[in-house]
Every structure is written in structure tokens, then in C-alpha cells.
Amino acid sequence: MTIKSHIALPAVVLVLMGLFIFGIGIAVNCTFIDEVIFADPVINCLAGHGYTTAAWNVTSQSETHVPTAPAYSLSLLFWLKCFGVSQFAARSLPAALALGSVLVLWRACVRAGLVKSGGAGAVVICVALLDYGYAFSYTCGRPEALSALLVAAMFYFSTLQNKRLALGAICLVSLLLPLVQWGCVIYVFFLLIALFIISREQVRPFIVAILICIAAGLLLQKMAYTHFGIWDTWMKTIRSEGSENIAKRIEYRMTWDALLHHNSNVLPKDFSALMILAGMAWLFVWHKLHQEKEEVRLAKSAWIIALMVTVGMYFVGKFPTYYSWMLSFPLAAILGAYFDRAVATNRVEAKWAMAIVILACGVGLPLQAGLAAHDWNDRNPAGITAVLEPKIGTNDVVYCDYPFYYQARQRAKTVFAGHYVNLLTQAERDSITLVIIGNRLSEWDRSKYALNDGAKVGEWRPARSGILGNDWKYGFLSAPNYDCTVYRLKEPGKP
């Protein structure tokens, strides 16, 4: 029995995307702050030091760490236990989850009748997987891919013919969402509102059940955290992200200061989503003029979801660029549905749809990889590893900025990283024997902890700067590559 073409093409595309992501994608960016924050407590736990971290500024290394995405942290624990501790292994988990998430999204779109052809399935996969912000997230060790997988699974379960089974599965996922990612809880709430506006008959049977189960999940999380004595620690984490007082946050977000000067972590700068929305705006006008209702409905749906989710996340939560799967997934489904209709009815419209797909995909992961190719050797960790490893002894206590965490972790006895510099006790500070400081950006405060230039024992300077520079404030495309100076404070074991 031969594989049907509508299955074969998306399957081949998914495999090719996987090869591209694992071969190139996860090597595009140097070590990102968030992947260290999620990986460090897991690595400590596997090493027998408990679930603690010295890479964050909420808990000391003697306190139990409470992650912002517990389900992902647990998944990473099992993953690294199976595949060993390395940056490649830590990044490969979200990459694998991302591939799984678009697989489930594609099959859900097929079951829901949104897409029928192999071409439309390939569109859904490419648009969702290569999205600018989502690609950055899953190639830099962040947990969004697990959230995306579960939301896609909820969509898939909603297409089951057995409605009791469908409702039960959706309720189970909803119950787990608070343990997956709080941002995902806020997203689902506003997505449901958008879907109710678009198609209330299909969404209505699930809305109340989902909201009740999410509320139950939040209650269970509070009960569990209180029982294990980590609720106060969790609240410290909430406060550190400015998420405790929703009323004050909404009030501030309504000011021009928030919108114009403090939007880096609350408004996504996702080129892929912008391309799709611009294309949908054009298609809406075109089909409105030609009185083609179904195409108008699809274009309108894209904008309803985008506006509702963006406004909701901006005011109630946060909407950094690496959350942009929240837009790319529904937009990919809508674009796939439009592509199917266009291919069947109008070649010109099919070309427009394909142009939108190519632009949306092209400015995502391919653009990130293309720009990184300019200074690829300086982004490759092999070079910086070769420089740092001889400097780090097995008895060293190292403070390092986040990009150099894995090099230090593989050799040193103890590693303090990044924001933890603000929690260092006097005893911890006195124990540090080696310091690895980022030349472009560092958490180390020289005014508080002076470094003797005479103690400099090594330096790594990139041979080439990035095409768009290497300054985070200009976005992911200008992310820093490896650039550091190494200082020897004292020899291990000496006071």
C-alpha cells in the first residue's frame, strides 16, 4: 500500500526541517541566558547536588529552585539523564518538541478539515516551524515548544469523534497548563475569546470545561507548592518578573512610556507574523472587493486572533518575541486553509499565498542562519572551548557570564553564573578562583568587585562582527557571539 501524496509531502518536509534544525539551527546562536537558567538546576540535580541553581537571582545555591516551567524542567531532567549533559543535548529537547508540535498541528488541521492537500500540510509545517520567534526559542533551549505541543494537542483532541473522550483529553491538558508555563494559561484564555468570536458553535462546548480545569490546575499548583514549602520561593520568582500585581501592570501598560520605551519583553518583534498579517490584510481587501466570503472570513480570522492574543498578552502577561508561536500556529493553520482553497480555485491567488509563505518562512530561521554564516566560526563553541578549557582546572570555583557556562561547567568544581553575582555571599565570593567576563555584556559589577588586569590569563576576541552587530538591544539578529576575558584571582585551595 503506497503512502498517499497528501501525507508524503508534509512528512518529507518535516524530515528535511528536522535535519536542518539539528544540523544547523541549534548552532546558530551562542549560549543564551535562558537556556542556562533552565539547564543549571537540572544539571545540579543529576550531579547529586539537589534541584538548586547558582545561575539565577531568586534563590541561593542552598535553596530548592522553583522553575517557571516545571513540566519542561522535569522533561529536561529525564532527557539529559538519557543523553548526557551537554549543550547539544539541552538544545535538542526543545528542537524535538518543536518538530512534534508542528506534526500534531498539521494532523489536527487535517482532521479539522482546514487542510486537505499535501501542499497545504507542508505550508502549515514550514510556517509554524520556521517562524522567527519560535525558531529562536527552540534553538536556544527555551521551554515554549512544550507549551506549543500541548496546545496543538488540545486542538487535535477537539477533532475526535468521541466527544466525551475529546473533552476528557482536553480537560487533562488544561489541568496541566499551569505547570507547563503560566504565559500559556493567559494565551489559551485570550485565544478562546478569539475563537469564540470567529466560530462560537465549535468552541462553546469546550470553553467552560477548559477554564474550570485551568483554575483547578492553578489551585493544585498552589496546594502542592505550599505542601512542599516552596510557595514563597515561587512568589519571589513571580515578583522578579513583575507579575504579582496584575492591576498595576495593566495600569502601567496603558502609558506611552511602557509602549515606547519598555516594550522589549511585552511586544513581539516577529517578522514572520508581520509578513502573514500584512498578506492577510491585502487578501482581505482583495476578496472583500470581489465579494468572496470564505476567503474574507479566513483573512479576518487571522487578524482577530492576532489582535486579541497580542492585546491580551500585552496587558495581562508579557509577549516577548520567543512567545510568537502563539501567533504562528493559528496563522499557519489559516494560511494552510487559504492555500488549499486558492490552489483549487485560482492560480493567481495560489501564487499570492505561496509568496506569503516564502516571505514568512524566509525571514525566520533561514534568515537567522544566513546572517550567522557571516561569523559562523565565532559562534561555534569549539573555538571558545579550546581557549577556555586549558584555563579551567577541575578544582576551580568559577564565576562566568552566561555564554561561557557550558565550558566552565564541564571542567570546574563549582560554577556561579550571570545574575547570581547579585546573591553571592562573602564566603562564595572569597571562594572564586577564576572569572570569565563577557567583553560586550557582563553581569559582573567592576565597581563592586574589582578585577586586577595583571591577573588576566586569557582572552577570546571574535575575528568577525555580526552583519547587524552584536548588541542584544537591536534584537535576535544582532545577538552577541563569544567574546570574553579570563581572570585568575587565585589558585584553587589558597586563601
Q: Please check the confidence at residue 244 and state whether its pLDDT lies above 80.
A: no
| Residue 19 neighbours by CB distance under 10 Å | 11
Which stretch of 37-41, 120-124, 186-190, 315-319 has the lowest confidence by average pLDDT?
315-319
- Which helix (H) or strand (E) covers residue 225, if one does? helix 182-227
β-bridge partners, 438: 484
Q: pLDDT at position 448, please?
A: 76
β-bridge partners, 456: 487
Query: What is the CA angle 239-243-245, rounded to 5?
Result: 95
Q: Please check the confidence at residue 440 and state whether its pLDDT lies above 90.
A: no
Three-state SS for 495? coil
> What does the block give as the cell for 287?
476578496
Three-state SS for 459? strand
Q: Please check the confidence at residue 446 and state whether its pLDDT lies above 80.
A: no
Three-state SS for 434? strand
Give 341-382 as a 3 state SS string: HHHHHCHHHHHHHHHHHHHHHHCCHHHHHHHHHHHHHHHCHH
Terminal C-alpha separation, the chain: 74
| Residue 334 neighbours by CB distance under 10 Å | 26
- Which helix (H) or strand (E) covers residue 397, if one does? strand 397-400
Angle at which helix 132-139 crosses helix 365-372, to 10 degrees, equals 60
> What does the block give as the cell for 344?
483549487
β-bridge partners, 484: 438, 460
- Give the model confidence (pLDDT) of 145-167 as tens digits: 999 999 999 999 999 999 899 99
Closest CA to 310 of 436, 187, 434: 187
This model's pTM is above 0.75: yes
Q: Are 368 and 135 in contact (CB under 8 A)?
A: yes
- Give the model confidence (pLDDT) of 2-49 as tens digits: 456 678 999 999 999 999 999 999 999 999 999 999 999 999 999 999
**Measuring CA to CA, how many Å separate 398 from each of 383, 408, 461, 490?**
19, 7, 20, 11
Give the sign of the dihedral formed by CA 136, CA 140, CA 146, CA 147.
negative
Domain ranges of the chain: 5-30+66-372, 382-488
**Mean pLDDT estimate for the chain:** 90
Higher pLDDT, 166 or 247: 166
Q: Are 120 and 107 in contact (CB under 8 A)?
A: no
Q: pLDDT at position 2, please?
A: 44
Q: pLDDT at position 224, please?
A: 94
> What does the block give as the cell for 491?
589558585
Q: b vs e for 385-396, b when ≥16 Cβ sit within 10 Å of the residue's Cβ?
A: bebbeebbbeeb
- Give the model confidence (pLDDT) of 271-321 as tens digits: 999 999 999 999 888 888 877 888 889 999 999 999 999 999 998 888 999
Q: With the CA atoms of 223, 227, 231 and 232 taken in that order, what torsion angle do they form, in degrees rounded to the nearest 10? A: 140
Confidence of residue 492 (pLDDT cuts 50, 70, 90): confident
Three-state SS for 486? strand
**pLDDT above 90 coverage of the chain, percent:** 65
Residue 457 phi/psi, 5-degree rounding, is: -120, 0
Q: Please check the confidence at residue 412 and state whether its pLDDT lies above 90.
A: yes
Q: pLDDT at position 447, please?
A: 67
Cα 10 to chain center, whole Å? 24
Burial of 457 (0-12, 13-18, 19+ CB in 10 A): exposed
β-bridge partners, 459: 485
Q: Mean pLDDT over residues 335-361, rounded?
A: 90
- 36 contact partners, CB below 8 Å, separation of at least 6: 55, 402, 405, 417, 418
> What does the block give as the cell for 296?
474574507
Q: pLDDT at position 1, please?
A: 37
**pLDDT above 70 coverage of the chain, percent:** 97
Q: Please check the confidence at residue 172 and state whether its pLDDT lies above 90.
A: yes
- 466 contact partners, CB below 8 Å, separation of at least 6: 371, 372, 374, 375, 477, 478, 479, 481
- 167 contact partners, CB below 8 Å, separation of at least 6: 205, 206, 209
Q: Are 486 and 388 in contact (CB under 8 A)?
A: yes
> What does the block give as the cell for 65?
529552585
Higher pLDDT, 430 or 249: 430
- Which helix (H) or strand (E) covers residue 267, if one does? none
| Residue 130 neighbours by CB distance under 10 Å | 27
213: left (phi over 0), alpha (psi -120 to 50) or beta: alpha
Q: pLDDT at position 289, please?
A: 83
Closest CA to 214 of 249, 243, 184, 236: 184
Higher pLDDT, 262 or 366: 366
Which stretch of 94-98, 277-281, 441-445 has the lowest confidence by average pLDDT?
441-445
Residue 258 phi/psi, 5-degree rounding, is: -65, -40
Burial of 113 (0-12, 13-18, 19+ CB in 10 A): exposed
